[in-house]
Amino acid sequence: MPETQPSLLVLILFLVFSLMFFSNSYRLWFKTDQYYQDLYTSLTRESSFRPFQKFFLTRLENKQRWIFWQKLFSVVGALAVLAADILMVRAYLQ
């Protein structure tokens, strides 16, 4: 199977999306109340159409449960994103 090296642009885009994930994870872990309030405010704003708005608002009703599951997911996600970043950088360097 032939190996292909990702372009620098693909690598940069991949790392930017990873940075966005880690930025949101940082806000979740270290600025939890503000993150929760920003999310809740954006979902309760009636100025735009959101097809799953009611679904997400019901998830936010129990704040402590929501925080627990979001933090658990962020740990698993961080490990996956970090592993993918390492693989992408290795593929680019080869």
Predicted confidence at residue 81, as pLDDT, reads 97
- Taking the chain (94 residues) in runs of 10, the rounded mean pLDDT of each run is 81 96 96 94 77 87 95 97 96 92
Task: Mention every residue, 6+ apart, whose C-beta is less than 8 A from residue 35.
Answer: 24, 27, 28
Q: Which two tokens stand for residue 11?
A: 């690598």
- State how far the Cα of 57 lies from the Cα of 44, in Å rounded to an integer: 8
- State how far the Cα of 89 lies from the Cα of 41, in Å rounded to an integer: 37
Predicted confidence at residue 19, as pLDDT, reads 97
Predicted confidence at residue 92, as pLDDT, reads 94
